[in-house]
């Protein structure tokens, strides 16, 4: 990885390393929300919310959709997969999608009970 790639990766991680931006992303876990919905769900005032959404957009962590005057946000799952793969590479694990993880869990016997049996 060259220095410009490392700098881009550092900027991406900085975009995630902020309590307000994490609260916004958490508010989007269940799906798309309008700015007003995000404001209420995350308890963040409009000026701060707009500023932090701009950072998330710049980092390509969220996608937007406009419907007349309303702007809707959703998580950019492809970009988050890149972050997951990066962190997994540090941990020495392999990144898998939620669907793959669900399939693996079902094949292994699903959940904590199976984990306890393996120990």
- The DSSP line for 15-46 is HHS-HHHHHHHHHTTTS-EEHHHHHHHHT--H
Q: How many domains does the chain have?
A: 2
Residue 119 sits in the same domain as residue 64:
no
Residue 6 sits in the same domain as residue 58:
yes
Residue 60 sits in the same domain as residue 97:
no
Q: In whole numbers, what is the pLDDT of the chain averaged over residues?
A: 84
Q: What is the pLDDT of residues 54-80, one digit of tens each?
A: 999 999 999 999 999 999 999 999 999
Domain of 47 in residue numbering reads as 1-75
Q: What is the pLDDT of residues 3-28, one digit of tens each?
A: 888 898 899 999 999 999 999 999 99
Residue 82 sits in the same domain as residue 25:
no
How far apart are alpha carbons 25 and 93 in whole angstroms? 24
Average pLDDT over residues 81-102: 77
What pTM does this model have?
0.74
Rg (CA), the chain: 17
3-state SS class at 118: helix
Q: Is 2 left (phi over 0), alpha (psi -120 to 50) or beta?
A: beta
């Amino acid at each position: 990885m060259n220095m410009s790639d490392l700098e881009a990766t550092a900027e991406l991680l900085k975009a995630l390393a902020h309590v307000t931006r994490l609260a916004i992303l958490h508010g989007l876990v269940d799906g798309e929300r309008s700015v007003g919905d995000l404001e209420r769900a995350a308890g963040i005032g409009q000026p701060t919310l707009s500023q932090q959404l701009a950072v998330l957009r710049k980092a390509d962590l969220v996608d937007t959709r406009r419907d007349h005057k309303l702007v809707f946000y959703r998580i950019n799952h492809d970009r988050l997969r890149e972050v997951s793969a990066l962190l997994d590479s540090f941990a020495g694990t392999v990144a898998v999608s939620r669907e793959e993880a669900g399939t693996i869990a079902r094949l292994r016997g699903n959940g904590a009970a199976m984990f306890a049996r393996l120990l």
